Amino acid sequence: MTAEKPDHASAAAQAEVARRIVEMTSRWAQGATLAEIRGGFEELLAGPEPGRAESTTLAGMAAVRHRPAADAPRGCVLFCHGGGFQIGSLRSHASLMARLAEASGTEVIGFDYRLAPEHRFPAQMEDGVAAYRAVLAANPHTRIVIAGDSAGGNLALTIALQARDAGLTLPAALVLISPWLDLTMRGESYQSRAEKDIFSKPEALRAMARTYLGRGGDPLAPLASPVNADLAGLPPILVHAGDFDITLDDSTLLAQRAKQVGVDCTLRVWPEMGHHFQVFDALPQARSSIADIGVFIREAVR
């Protein structure tokens, strides 16, 4: 399903977001350290944080609970932040998590999983499964949604696969925002959208995949590229992606393979939007996408 094309009212917002992305990524290209890139990513994605936030821990990891302004939220969302498994944090995604909590009326819990190159695959997956087990233990009677953007979408899907195989209670649903699901990057969109997606570039993702997997790592392995996994038995999945997103074909392939095994998977594609555009609240399309995701989560946890 394709969303409506952006109108003229969004042009100024798109231009400003593009300016910020180009300015920040140009700084990175001039030899920034990994620490500087991580800090810049947090700065770039900073935005409004409605509702209430509380620092906590989850399975020994730093975590945060974002609650909507209204009392008595229903259900729970475990959120996996994006960043190519190497950047991203509770700080970079604070606005996105807070806006999801407000739109869904649901508590959103984010956690700081280990990052590469300090910690390579499967450390991130192990942390994600540990976080899910902890949320299950603390909320035994609560319907849980697992969500994530970009590499966090990969992690969210992998957690669900591991939960299924371990016989754990499955999440009520999955929400994947521009998920990066194929580390081989075989999709045609990695070439056709390379010039249109100003945020993510194929060469950068290839380098991130190598760093994440380490020497000898297999990008075809189902737990590294979960689009290759057996998807049978998974809960309903909502995928939001942009038509200018280089990872778009990962989303379309996931939707095809999910439906082949009877899994309900809805894919919505937003014209002229790039990789995980929802992180930028200034975009009207981001606000519309978050509102749509909020409705889906409300239905899943009721």
**Do residues 104 and 238 make contact, with C-beta atoms less than 8 angstroms apart?**
no
How far, in Å, CA of 163 to CA of 22, rounded?
39
Q: Is residue 111 part of a domain?
A: yes
SS (H, E, C) 166-187: HCCCCCCEEEEECCCCCCCCCC
The helix/strand/coil state of 244 is coil
The pLDDT, as a whole number, for residue 262 is: 98
Residue 31, domain member (yes or no): no
Cβ neighbours, 10 Å, residue 29: 9
Q: What is the separation, in whole angstroms, between the first and last Cα of the chain?
A: 25
Residue 26 lies in a domain: no
CB 85 within 8 A of CB 205: no
Helix, strand, coil percentages in the chain from 3-state DSSP, rounded to 5: 45, 15, 40
**What is residue 2's DSSP assignment?**
B
Question: In terms of residue numbers, what domain contains 171?
Answer: 50-301
Over residues 131-143, the pLDDT tens digits come to: 999 999 998 889 9
Contacts of 6-10 with CB under 8 Å at 24 or more apart are: 6/271, 6/272, 6/273, 6/284, 6/285, 9/284, 10/283, 10/284, 10/285
Residue 32: exposure state from Cβ atoms within 10 A (0-12, 13-18, ≥19)? middle
Q: Percent of the chain at pLDDT above 90?
A: 90
In this structure, the number of other CB atoms found within 10 A of the CB of residue 11 comes to: 10
Q: What is the pLDDT of residues 46-76, one digit of tens each?
A: 999 999 999 999 999 999 999 998 866 689 9
The sign of the dihedral angle between the CA atoms of 111, 116, 121, 122 is negative
CA–CA gap between residue 249 and residue 253 (Å, rounded): 6
Cβ 184 vs Cβ 220: under 8 Å? yes
Instruction: Indicate whether 186 belongs to any domain.
Output: yes
- What was the pLDDT predicted at 10? 79
Residue 7 confidence class, pLDDT cut points 50, 70, 90:
low
Instruction: Please state the rounded mean pLDDT for residues 109-122.
Output: 98
Residue 3 lies in a domain: no
CATH number of domain containing 89 = 3.40.50.1820
Percent of the chain with pLDDT over 70: 96
The answer to whether 111 and 126 are in contact (CB under 8 A) is no
Establish if 29 belongs to a structural domain. Answer: no
What are the residue ranges of helices labelled H in the chain? 11-29, 34-45, 94-104, 123-138, 151-166, 189-192, 202-213, 248-260, 284-301
Mean pLDDT confidence for 36-51:
96
C-alpha to C-alpha distance for 181 and 207, rounded to whole angstroms = 15
Q: What is the pLDDT of residues 257-289, one digit of tens each?
A: 999 999 999 999 999 999 999 999 999 999 999
Residues 299 and 33 sit within 8 Å (Cβ to Cβ): no
The total number of structural domains that make up the chain: 1
Question: pLDDT value at position 8?
Answer: 60
Which of 275, 274, 258 has its CA nearest to residue 266? 258
* Alpha carbons 286 and 277: distance in angstroms, whole number: 6
Domain-embedded: residue 37? no
Q: Which residue has the tokens 């969210």?
A: 156
pLDDT band at 169 (very low <50, low <70, confident <90, very high): very high
Residue 177 domain-assigned (yes or no) = yes
